[in-house]
């Protein structure tokens, strides 16, 4: 009887330890914790100021808006197409959101500076897509995440924006163009 009680208690302790052991999870399932993303009282006030500047000052002229998303293969691995989009915009007399933010003197803080940074970028992207008019362009890499800002926010907004008459996607890897809205 004593042996069986000891066995049951030992088994219970062992099982409890196993159940409490760390479980390996993919990094996308892990939650960031700690002081690096700690929200300070001034973060919200700063975010509201930046959002108001975005709402009132982020504008573009008709036929000038250029969007970008994804990566292309660089010499040392995947590279963002941000610079490709800026080059395209300059060559064509257009502007990317980054160029427009700089022109309007709007500085979105980094995530280290303000934990609301990602939401500010999402908001700016939505405003940029709503402000677009006429023919718009998107410079895309060969790899674009389905959950990218372009696919989740900008493209849906452009497709429902009646002021956008044409949306052309340019694939940096294939050099192909696809008209996804409007004329041929």
Domain containing 133: what range? Answer: 43-182
DSSP string for the chain: -HHHHHHHHHHHHHHHHHHHS-----GGG----SGGG---HHHHHHHHHHHHHHHHH----TT-EEEEE-EEEETTEEEESHHHHHHHHHHHT-EEHHHHHHHTT--PPPTTT-TTHHHHHHHHHHHHHHH--EEEEEEE-SB--TTSHIIIIIHHHHHH-TTEEEEEEEETTT--EEEEEE--
For residue 85, tell me if it sits in a domain.
yes
Report the pLDDT value the prediction gives residue 41, as an integer from 0 to 100.
Answer: 73
In a domain, 135, yes or no: yes
Give pLDDT tens digits for 124-136: 999 999 999 999 9
Do 71 and 141 meet the contact criterion of CB atoms below 8 Å apart?
yes
Q: Answer yes or no: is 26 within a domain.
A: no
Asked whether the predicted pLDDT for residue 31 surpasses 60, the reply is no
The dihedral built from the CA positions of residue 87, 106, 156 and 148, taken in this order, carries a sign that is: positive
Global confidence as pTM? 0.76
Residue 34 confidence class, pLDDT cut points 50, 70, 90: very low
Q: Which of 11-15, 26-30, 114-118, 148-152 has the lowest mean pLDDT?
A: 26-30
Strand partners for 140: 69, 171
Q: Residue 131: inside a domain, yes or no? A: yes
Percent of the chain exceeding pLDDT 70 equals 78
Count structural domains, the chain: 1
Q: Read off the pLDDT of residues 50-80 as tens digits, 9 standing for 90 and up.
A: 999 999 999 999 999 999 999 998 899 899 9
Band of residue 25 on the pLDDT scale cut at 50, 70, 90: very low
Please report whether residue 10 resides in a domain: no
Q: Does 152 reside within a domain? A: yes
């Amino acid at each position: 009887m004593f042996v069986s009680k000891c066995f049951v208690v030992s088994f219970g302790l062992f099982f409890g330890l196993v159940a409490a052991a760390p479980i390996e999870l993919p990094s996308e399932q892990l939650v960031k914790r700690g002081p690096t993303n700690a929200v300070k009282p001034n973060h919200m006030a700063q975010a509201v100021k930046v959002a108001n500047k975005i709402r009132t000052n982020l504008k573009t002229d008709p036929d000038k808006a250029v969007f970008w998303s994804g990566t292309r293969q660089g010499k040392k691995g995947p590279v963002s197409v941000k610079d490709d989009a800026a080059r395209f915009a300059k060559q064509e007399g257009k502007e990317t959101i980054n160029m427009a933010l700089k022109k309007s003197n709007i500085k979105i803080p980094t995530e280290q500076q303000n934990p609301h940074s990602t939401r500010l970028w999402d908001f700016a992207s939505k405003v940029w897509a709503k402000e677009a008019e006429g023919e718009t362009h998107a410079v895309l890499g060969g790899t674009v995440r389905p959950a990218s800002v372009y696919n989740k926010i900008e493209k849906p907004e452009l497709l429902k924006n009646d002021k956008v008459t044409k949306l052309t996607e340019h694939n940096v890897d294939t050099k192909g163009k696809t008209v996804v809205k409007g004329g041929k």
